[in-house]
Homo-oligomer: A and B are copies of this chain.
């Protein structure tokens, strides 16, 4: 349903799947992965972490043992994936439903493609491509109907929009070809050090 918050959930779970982390760093990594613009605020991140914790997918533990404290600046809250959280992540990453190729989630899904099964990768890429081609069709319809009405700037705007979508389609084609070229490359879950 709420695909924007689903995407955030996946992103957080995915990053914690690599290593335990505290909130501040989580936010930086999120920014680095999805583009530094579109940074989410703490007002979004912390409540979201709280929710994940309530559902039992992550644990919050105050980093207070000596070794850590010696090197650290301040008591930080380290979030760690629980086994249930790992399962949840693997469930999310296995899904290739329509939501996965919408604007809100596609980037995040791609960012975790290394942890995604090969067939799922292809289905998502193809779903995304189909979605964009649908868009292309709609835009040309509108363009055809508005030919007289539109002014110079409106046309320019739509031309550029069309162009961007076409380029994304071509980019997807390349990614899909690359996937097909090596249908193997289905890496193991790569669990982090502390098992259990």
Contacts and interface: CB of A to CB of B under 8 A. Distances in A.
A91 to B, nearest CB: 20
A119 interface: no
Given A146-B32, A153-B113, A167-B167, A37 B160 contact: no
A163 B174 CA distance: 15
Given A164-B164, A168-B160, A153 B110 contact: yes
Contacts of A138: 36-37
Interface in A95-139: 107, 110-114, 135, 138-139
A37 B158 CA distance: 12
B107 A157 contact: yes
A118 B179 CA distance: 49
B111 A142 contact: no
Interface of A: 31-33, 35-37, 107, 110-114, 135, 138-139, 141-142, 145-146, 151-154, 156-158, 160-161, 163-164, 167-168, 171, 175
19 contacts: A32-B142, A32-B146, A35-B139, A35-B158, A36-B141, A37-B135, A110-B153, A110-B156, A110-B157, A112-B153, A113-B151, A113-B152, A114-B151, A114-B152, A114-B153, A156-B175, A163-B167, A164-B168, A167-B167
Give the top 10 A-B pairs by smallest Cβ distance, nearest first: A113-B153, A36-B138, A114-B151, A32-B142, A110-B157, A160-B171, A110-B153, A37-B135, A36-B142, A111-B154
